[in-house]
Amino acid sequence: MNSFWTVVGFTLKNKFRAKAFLITTLIIAIIMTIGINLPYIFSQFNSGDKVSQIGYIHSKSAEDSATGDQLKAYFEAQEKSDIKLVPYEDKGSVSENEKQLKQAIADKDIVGYLQFGKMSENGFPEMTYKSEKLMAYESTSPIQSALQIIRQGTILHDAGLTAEQLALLNAPIEIATMQISATDGTTNVDDGKSLEQQAVNMGLVYLIVVLLFMAIMITGQLIASEITAEKSSRVMELLITSVSPLKQMFGKIVGMFLVGLIQVSVYVLVLIINVSLPHNNKLLEQFNIDLTKIDPKLLIFAVLFYLTGYLLFATLFAAVGSIVSRTEDLGQAVLPITMLSLAGFYISIFSITSPDSMLVKVSSFIPFFSPFVMLLRLGLTDPPVWEICTSIGILFVTIYVAVWISAKIYRTGVLMYGKRPTFKEIRKAMKAYKI
């Protein structure tokens, strides 16, 4: 057991001494910090008074400019509008008006202007928005929706509705949802997960699934590439004559797991520190996250599936890493495992809105997918206990088998050099070695 921890310690120490690792961690932490503070940084830049001014020709005689006035009144009535219409005096001729408005754009008084044509069937005149920008949807779409509301208001007003009736018509409708267990015997009315609880649980499931996937992809690759590197630098011959291969393999897996865990902890810490900065307080309130609403049972399952899922994939990565002799060949060799974890990840992520589909049910029993998918079911639905037990049982058996096979392959693979051995060669060689 002693030399096992020596391997773990050595793995950890080397990783944290490696500049590449430290720099990567630092860069990701910085990107996270920037990402979290980005909304705040942006809000500092457009501090309120960034209003696009849009010009139009206001003439008392013409009917069309009434629309311009209506729009102006509408946007002024809005509490916080980033569009403001500015009337310009009618100069008498179209070309004169055009010139006047163009001058206004050149002077940066307005960003563009609306030109009205003849009356159309929809109750408004034909309109052209002219500006120096390409595809100026950000200006035209608020105008469009404003006109829609203006029209609605006019028609309803003409129909003789009172202001109260209007307000009633626009009042939002809400339905509360609660996720319950149909097989659960309790008759308590409040039993079940409220919307907030669901949201928090979904968030947790999402987080764990992503973390697990990241851990598998990053640390799995690291395990495989470190073993291959040890093999290609031939230090492996010294290692296997110093410590039993099984201890060596698991030392590496556990060491890498701790590396990943520490890395993730750093990120989580950065996240917490940044979110709890005073200027980001509002943000947190907006999302309405109450961490006390996490189901403790789900948390335990999350940790369990995280550990088992990691162990299962890590042993496979170690086995593959031990077969390959050169780092260049590694990418291709780990592809099947990567695909496997990718499949589990995607099934879980894409089924987050339909956690009761057949695909989810079936794949929650398939060992390579179950760490992702069963967790999804646990978080979002209430699967029967026997299904949970079966899934975990299958997973454990698979891990046992995977560990045994991986240890065998590892023992054999580390001494095989040259081209990537075929399955037949591995099987033949496996008989020659004892774990």
Partner 1 sequence: MNPLKVEGIVKQYGDKTAVNGISFEVSEGEIYGLLGANGAGKTTTMRMVLGLIYPDEGQILYNGKAYSNNELRNLGYLPEERGLYPKVRVSDQLIYLGQLRGMSKKDADKNLKKWLDRFEVPEYYNKKVEELSKGNQQKIQFIASIIHSPKIVILDEAFSGLDPVNVELLKSTVKELRDTGTSILFSTHRMEHVEELCRNITILHRSNVVLKGSLKDIKKQFPKERVILNTENEITGLNQIVGVTNVVRHEYGYEVGIANEAVGGDILRHAMGQSTITRFEIKEPTLNEIFIKTVGGDSHE
Binding site for partner 1 (CB under 8 A): 2-3, 6-7, 10, 13-14, 18, 230, 233-244, 415, 428, 432-434
Nearer CB in complex with partner 1: 95/241: 241
**Which one, of 13, 11, 21, lies nearest residue 239 by Cα?**
11
Nearer CB in complex with partner 1: 146/416: 416
Contact present, 118 and 126 (Cβ < 8 Å) = yes
Through-space distance between the first and last CA atoms of the chain, rounded to whole angstroms: 16
| Smallest distance, partner 1 to C-beta of residue 230, A | 8
| Smallest distance, partner 1 to C-beta of residue 198, A | 49
| Smallest distance, partner 1 to C-beta of residue 220, A | 21
Nearer CB in complex with partner 1: 1/134: 1
Region of residue 130 (phi > 0: left; psi between -120 and 50: alpha; otherwise: beta): beta
| Smallest distance, partner 1 to C-beta of residue 426, A | 13
Nearer CB in complex with partner 1: 245/367: 245
Nearer CB in complex with partner 1: 4/124: 4
The two beta strands, 83-89 and 52-58, are: parallel
Cβ burial 196-219 (10 Å sphere, 16+ → b, else e)? ebbbbbbbbbbebbebbbbbbbbb
Contact present, 224 and 329 (Cβ < 8 Å) = no
Contact present, 306 and 211 (Cβ < 8 Å) = yes
Nearer CB in complex with partner 1: 15/193: 15
Q: What share of the chain is helix, strand, coil (3-state, %, to 5)?
A: 70, 10, 25
| Smallest distance, partner 1 to C-beta of residue 302, A | 35
**Which one, of 70, 57, 67, 51, lies nearest residue 138 by Cα?**
51
| Smallest distance, partner 1 to C-beta of residue 434, A | 5
What angle do helix axes 330-350 and 370-380 make, rounded to 10 degrees?
A: 20
Q: Length of the chain in residues, anyone?
A: 435
Nearer CB in complex with partner 1: 141/244: 244
| Smallest distance, partner 1 to C-beta of residue 237, A | 4
**Which one, of 312, 274, 290, lies nearest residue 406 by Cα?**
312
Q: Round to whole Å and give the CA distance between 435 and 431.
A: 10
The CA-based dihedral angle spanning residues 91, 94, 99, 101, taken in that order and rounded to the nearest 10 degrees: 80
> Which amino acid type is present at position 397?
V
| Smallest distance, partner 1 to C-beta of residue 427, A | 11
Nearer CB in complex with partner 1: 18/335: 18
